[in-house]
Amino acid sequence: MKSAMSTLHTPEQTAETSPPASADTSAKIELVGLSRDELAAELTAIGEKPFRAKQLWHWIYHQGERDFSRMTTISKAMHGALAEKFTVGRPGIAREQTSEDTSRKWLFRLDDGNEVETVFIPEEDRGAVCISSQVGCSLTCTFCHTGTMKLVRNLTAGEIVGQFMAARDSYGEWPSPTGDRLLSNIVMMGMGEPLLNYEAVAKALRIIMDGEGIALSKRRITLSTSGVVPLMDRCGEELGVNLAVSLHAVSDELRDVLVPINKKHPLKELLAACRRYPSANNARRITFEYVMLKGVNDSEADARELLRLVKGIPVKFNLIPFNPWPGSAYECSNAKDMKKFAAILNDGGFSAPIRVPRGRDILAACGQLKSASERDVAALREAARARKAEQANTTPERTTTE
Ligand code: SAH
Ligand code: SF4
């Protein structure tokens, strides 16, 4: 199945790897994704002192070590006991692809066979890992390919942290560097709506921000929401990460169509939540994402209305050229219109870069996630149907005497 899928999809530098060749881990407890308290409780349960949790935490999240026998500050006698009961895993990599523009995408196959995608987008002196929070999405934004899938399930905290850890494995970025890092930022902008899986996302981000492990600062983490207003306050108060809001329209009438959660939490409510967002100030502005849809939301009047709406909110804009997908009802705005739109926002005093799509050749750009593997499956089904039809045509009709 896997090799058949790879022949259908052969972009630049595609690598297929098997899920980690660990022994039978089914009966073992996965330590990645446990909070510090949970880790201490697990150790207490096997008769170890809770302070061992600090040592283990260091090995798992600072050193990136998965093999208990290499955890040299832990007594040899304890290695066996740990290995018998626990495992330090990663989501299995079904496929790793590197784009011509050097961005990299992983398709992870989870323990239950579900798949999610993670993308690394390197810049000159830093790079962001774009992480998924759900398999599919329960919201149905009409320009988003993930939105055409149903929500299959929420990811666990371990699966969320695991995406980042696997990305670091891939770049050999262990132990956690204290200075410059290649994988320096996280954006919760992959598949799914992170605020609709808040508990697991919050737990994962706390693990990632913990100063004795991966130690990524909240200033380097951005959570993108389509506007789940009731959880925006909690996100600001409890996590304090940067916020990005998928705005995409300046009227409720249009936003109801593009981002249907708007019917539940209309613009006025959403903008009020942005005004309240605790960590937002001039140094840490909220990002308003705005997908550029030809003839839909890209007029000069839209840009001017946008300026009026955001008055008093510390914002910057991120204009995202629409990435089409098979069957999508929209087109990307013309370059000239996008420039004009950006210029109006700039003249109003706001930063409004037009994002350069990255990783389009490996379908890693915004709104394209999961489409690749779904398309592979669709192509496989189509090929199987064609084979069947061909067989039916070439097989001589059976008679009752045969
Ligand atoms: N669910 C969250 C985060 C994931 S989507 C959210 O909606 O904010 C990350 C960004 O990509 C969002 O701003 C989303 O609106 C945008 N996006 C989705 N589909 C897109 C497409 N086909 N082209 C360009 N941007 C898209
Ligand atoms: Fe879900 Fe975000 Fe896509 Fe909307 S844009 S369907 S919230 S992933």
Question: pLDDT tens across 345-365, in order?
Answer: 999 999 999 998 887 777 777
Number of Cβ within a 10 Å radius of residue 56: 26
In the chain, CATH 3.20.20.70 covers 92-378
The DSSP-derived string for 160-205 is HHHHHHHHHHHHT--S--SS--SS-EEEE-SSS-GGGGHHHHHHHH
Mean pLDDT of 6-27: 41
- Dist CA 298 CA 249 (whole Å): 9
pLDDT(9) > 50: no
Between 212 and 385, residue with greater pLDDT: 212
The pLDDT confidence band at residue 10, using thresholds 50, 70 and 90, is very low
Between 394 and 323, residue with greater pLDDT: 323
The preferred substitution site among 188, 189, 270 for testing ligand 1, maximizing ligand atoms within 8 Å of CB, is 189
User: How confident is the model at residue 188, as a pLDDT?
Assistant: 97
Q: Which atom of ligand 1 is nearest to the CA of 330?
A: 22
User: How confident is the model at residue 387, as a pLDDT?
Assistant: 63
- Per the listing, tokens 């350069």 go with 356
Mean pLDDT of 111-119: 93
Q: Above pLDDT 70, what percent of the chain?
A: 84
Mean pLDDT (the chain) is: 87
**H/E run at residue 135:** strand 134-135
370 phi/psi in degrees, rounded to 5: 75, -25
**Considering only 14-23, 170-179, 249-258, 315-324, which range has the smallest mean pLDDT?**
14-23
Beta-bridge partner residues of 117: 107
Q: How many residues does the chain have?
A: 402
The preferred substitution site among 144, 356, 370 for testing ligand 1, maximizing ligand atoms within 8 Å of CB, is 144
**Residues lining ligand 1, CB < 6 A?**
141, 143-144, 189, 193, 224-226, 246, 289, 291, 320, 322-323, 366-367
pLDDT(383) > 50: yes
User: How confident is the model at residue 78, as a pLDDT?
Assistant: 92
153 phi/psi in degrees, rounded to 5: -170, 165
**Ligand 2 geometric centre to CA of 363 (Å):** 16
**Ligand 2 geometric centre to CA of 393 (Å):** 44
Q: Above pLDDT 90, what percent of the chain?
A: 73
Three-state secondary-structure class, residue 282? coil
Mean pLDDT of 179-186: 91
pTM greater than the 0.85 cutoff: yes
Where does 29-87 sit in CATH, by number? 1.10.150.530
Give burial (CB, 10 Å; 0-12/13-18/19+) of 20. Answer: middle
Helices 157-171, 198-209: crossing angle, 10 deg rounding:
40
Q: What per-residue string of b and e applies to 358-393 under the rule 16 or more CB within 10 Å gives b?
A: bbbebbbbbbbbbbbbbbbeeeeeeeeeeeeeeeee
Mean pLDDT of 226-243: 96
User: How confident is the model at residue 178, as a pLDDT?
Assistant: 79
Closest ligand to C-alpha of residue 224 is 1
**Considering only 94-108, 219-233, 363-377, which range has the smallest mean pLDDT?**
363-377
pLDDT(401) > 50: no
**For 92-378, which CATH superfamily applies?**
Aldolase class I (3.20.20.70)
- Give catalytic status of residue 366 as yes or no: yes
Tens-digit pLDDT profile for residues 264-322? 999 999 999 999 998 778 778 999 999 999 999 999 999 999 999 999 999 999 999 99
Q: What is the distance in angstroms between the CA of the first residue and the CA of the last residue of the chain? A: 34
The candidate with the shortest Cα–Cα distance to 235, out of 246, 224, 250, is 224
**Considering only 7-16, 159-168, 279-288, which range has the smallest mean pLDDT?**
7-16
CB–CB of 247/283 below 8 Å? no
Between 33 and 328, residue with greater pLDDT: 33
User: How confident is the model at residue 18, as a pLDDT?
Assistant: 38
User: How confident is the model at residue 374, as a pLDDT?
Assistant: 56
**Ligand 1 geometric centre to CA of 325 (Å):** 13
Mean pLDDT of 46-61: 94
Exactly one of 115, 117, 159, 289 is catalytic; name it: 117
Q: Which atom of ligand 2 is nearest to the CA of 147?
A: 6
In the chain, CATH 1.10.150.530 covers 29-87
